[in-house]
Structure 1
Amino acid sequence: MDHAQIVKMGYAIQKYLEQTNRFDVTPPELMDLLIEQGYFKYDVREGKPLRDVLRKLDDDDMLYLLPQLRVDRMDVNRRWFFNAYRL
């Protein structure tokens, strides 16, 4: 997924978070929305396609492309949470 698609996906996530007024939304909870909007074709293992994109962004130090994202790093794993970005 290229950077432009990731930014567009961020706008879709932001709109969803603002409309639903939800906090700490996890990747599996966003997959139906992102599949419906064409960012992913299908879900595997509870949000793995999105988590793979997030892992790649984290490894490349590019998480700033998704300002709604918060990551909690453990010894081995990472936990991802989305919250509406507010200025």
Structure 2
Amino acid sequence: MTTILVVDDDDIVAKSIELSLRRQGFNVLIAHTGVEGLKTARRAPPDLIILDVIMPGMDGFEVCRQLREDPLLSDIPVLFLTARG
């Protein structure tokens, strides 16, 4: 089963994405901070990461930079998400 990691500090957004993806048959992991997202990805590398750009502390760009520097995670596709249009 394909696993998708959703990293978003907004619980409502994260839960709505999770619900939609689960309905489509995906396994979904949720993290609410950049640090938590990195830990989750290292513990259970997903097939895709949906990553919020604007988060307190470590933003999505820094999370992506650290993912790209990790040989075990560098090939995982990242889809950026932002509430700002």
- TM-score normalized with structure 2 length: 0.29
If each structure's helix is expressed as a fraction of its own residues, which one has the higher value?
Answer: 1
- TM-score normalized with structure 1 length: 0.29
